[in-house]
């Protein structure tokens, strides 16, 4: 059954590497897009580092498995944004970005002032806040 497209708001507050929230968020985002919904992701705190341009497309070489290439989070998120330019937005909190020194972002990301958080939250019909702000 075809469901009506909705506006999703996902806020990612947790620090990367400390748990699997980032993985969950990316899976949720892709699933929502696959079902035709619109998604706005708001990255706060350490999560602003996921889209740092300095990460490059690939992770540093795995010393235990030199033939394996492993995509960076910047590549994963950038690819999703390029595939869904009309239905996916990835917004980075400017204050958190400056606080964490992640000021060089990939070009597909939008840097927004903190006050926009509530605006996007109100606009969405489905809202989910993930993780603890760090």
Cβ proximity to another protein: between 76 and 116 the closer is: 76
Give the nearest distance from C-beta 83 to another protein in angstroms: 6
- 119 counts as binding another protein under rule CB under 8 A: no
- 64 counts as binding another protein under rule CB under 8 A: yes
* DSSP summary character for residue 130: E
- 132 counts as binding another protein under rule CB under 8 A: no
CA distance 129 to 100: 20
- Are the beta carbons of 99 and 92 closer than 8 angstroms? no
Give the nearest distance from C-beta 109 to another protein in angstroms: 15
DSSP per residue over 49-90, as a string? GGGBGGG-SBPPP-TT-TT---B-HHHHHHHHHHH-TTTEEE
Cβ proximity to another protein: between 20 and 99 the closer is: 20
Give, for 43, the enclosing helix (H) or strand (E): strand 38-43
- 71 counts as binding another protein under rule CB under 8 A: yes
- 79 counts as binding another protein under rule CB under 8 A: yes
- Cα 15 to Cα 19, 22, 23, 53, 133: the distances in Å are 8, 9, 12, 17, 7
- 23 counts as binding another protein under rule CB under 8 A: yes
Binding residues (CB under 8 A) for another protein: these are 16-20, 22-23, 26-27, 30, 50, 59, 62, 64-65, 68, 70-71, 73, 75-76, 79-80, 83
């Amino acid at each position: 059954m075809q469901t009506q497209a909705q506006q999703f708001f996902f806020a990612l507050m947790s620090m990367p590497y400390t748990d699997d929230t980032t993985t969950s968020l990316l899976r949720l985002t892709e699933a929502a897009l696959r079902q035709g919904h619109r998604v706005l992701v708001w990255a706060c705190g350490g999560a602003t580092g996921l889209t740092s341009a300095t990460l490059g497309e690939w992770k540093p070489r795995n010393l235990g498995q030199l033939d394996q290439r492993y995509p960076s989070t910047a590549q994963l998120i950038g690819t999703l944004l390029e595939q869904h330019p009309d239905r996916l937005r990835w917004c980075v909190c400017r204050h958190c970005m400056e606080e964490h020194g992640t000021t060089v972002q990939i070009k597909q990301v939008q840097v927004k002032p903190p006050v926009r958080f509530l605006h996007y939250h109100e606009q969405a019909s489905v809202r989910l806040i993930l993780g603890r702000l760090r």
